[in-house]
Amino acid sequence: MLTQTIGAVLPTALAVALSPFPLIGIVLILAGPRGRRNGLLFTAGWIAGLGIVATLVVAVLGGAHDPDSPSSAIADWARILAGGALIALGARKWWRRPRAGEESRTPRWMASLDDVSASRALLLGALLSGANPKNLVLTASAAASIAEASTDDTDLALAVTVFVLIGSCTVLGAVVVHLLGGGRAVSFLDGVRRFMVGNSTVITVIVFLLLGAGILGDGLTGLGR
């Protein structure tokens, strides 16, 4: 049962991990004069934000493992809404993409991340993971799948933990590379940042459209049971 639950949330967790802006943000933070401290705080905030949202949704949808329960119907409708929202976000992102000859720009809020304070680094990590609308949709969808597939509290906790760890793997990976990679880590992480900046639109659109269609289909299938 736990293996099936993890398999169900794996695509969503990877979509969270591949979000371009958090990865760009952590690279910029790590490049600052207090990069090690702020990078660890950003990562702690990121993990806490994902964990809190996922835990709350799982708690609200308790009993969703019973197909005839109101919680199960709510979970299915939540997936339908989440899938539709992801498709809409992907279409909107594509419509607003940089045109030929235009360069992708890093958002203004990232301009001073190389010298961010400790409290702001922690808060920014939590907000990007827990309060970002895109991540809210993805996390809620994953949590609905966890609530439907598991009845045991231990399995629920393990499934949420696995989702959070997979969803945090790119942010965690950047911090580990910075801590262990020495001088070569700087150029490598900067290359990752430039790739993400240049390809953020394509990555986001593909992930949102494909994942949104899958989540929407799962919700419709659930309602048809």
Residue 205 lies in a domain: yes
Residue scoring higher pLDDT (22 or 71)? 22
* Tally of domains in the chain: 1
Residue 77 lies in a domain: yes
Residue scoring higher pLDDT (157 or 72)? 157
What backbone torsions phi and psi does residue 24 show, to the nearest 5 degrees?
Answer: -60, -45
> Would you say residue 17 has pLDDT above 70?
yes
Residue 105 lies in a domain: no
Cα dihedral value 177, 117, 46, 200, nearest 10: -70
Q: Which residues contact 156 (CB under 8 A, 6 or more apart)?
A: 58, 146, 147, 150
> Would you say residue 152 has pLDDT above 90?
no
Residue 187 lies in a domain: yes
Residue 111 lies in a domain: no
Q: Which of 196, 85, 197, 72 is nearest to 139 (CA)?
A: 85
Residue 217 lies in a domain: yes
Residue 113 lies in a domain: no
Residue 108 lies in a domain: no
Q: Which domain holds residue 76?
A: 2-100+120-223
pLDDT digits (tens, 9 = 90+) for 27-77: 888 887 888 899 999 999 999 999 999 999 888 877 666 666 677 777 778
Q: What's the pTM?
A: 0.82
User: How confident is residue 184, by pLDDT bands cut at 50, 70 and 90?
Assistant: confident
Q: Which of 220, 212, 182, 181 is nearest to 91 (CA)?
A: 212
Sign (positive or negative) of CA dihedral 174, 177, 178, 183: negative
pLDDT digits (tens, 9 = 90+) for 111-150: 667 678 888 889 999 998 888 888 888 888 888 888 777 6
